[in-house]
Amino acid sequence: MVTIQAVYEGDLHCKAVHGPSRAELNTDAPADNQGRGENFSPTDLVATALGTCMLTVMGIMARTLKIDIGGATATVEKEMSGTAPRRIDSLRVRIHVPHALRPEDRQKLERAAHTCPVHQSLRPDIHMPIEFVWG
């Protein structure tokens, strides 16, 4: 179990502390929802979690396959719903791996990305197209 302690600091800002490492991060409400957009919003963190989770499980698979995916990137475009209740409507993911890999390794890495725990935890009605770009 991991504990995250969050405190509301006022003016729509929060600070969260990761229990095991004591690392801190700050959030702000987005500019389109009464905030100043000075930090990640809570829903930005969901998008961030998805991209980094996919890269992480791909990294685990790459380690198993003894291949290098260093420099791989994930770009996540988050869109909010235009109607109430306010929620994430879509998370478009583009993963770029700047290495030429064998087709069978690419397939294993793509399959791994789709099994990331964040992807598996999100609501099924969130539109999540995933594009992979190789080389």
CATH of residue 126: 3.30.300.20
**Does one domain contain both 128 and 102?**
yes
**CA pair distance 95, 107, nearest whole angstrom:** 13
* CA distances in angstroms from 122 to 34, 47, 84, 134, listed in the order given: 25, 11, 19, 26
pLDDT at 68: 95
- Whether residues 122 and 67 fall in one domain: yes
Same domain for 129 and 99: yes
**To 10 degrees, what angle do helices 42-65 and 103-114 make?**
140
In the chain, the largest separation of any two C-alpha atoms, in whole Å, equals: 51
* Domain shared by 19 and 51, yes or no: no
- pLDDT of the residue at 129: 98
pLDDT at 5: 98
Ranges of the chain with pLDDT below 50: none
Count: domains in the chain? 2
What pLDDT is recorded for position 81?
95
User: Is there a single domain that holds both residue 22 and residue 79?
Assistant: no
93, 124: one domain = yes
Q: What is the domain range of residue 67?
A: 42-134
Q: Is the dihedral of CA 51, 37, 79, 134 positive or negative?
A: negative
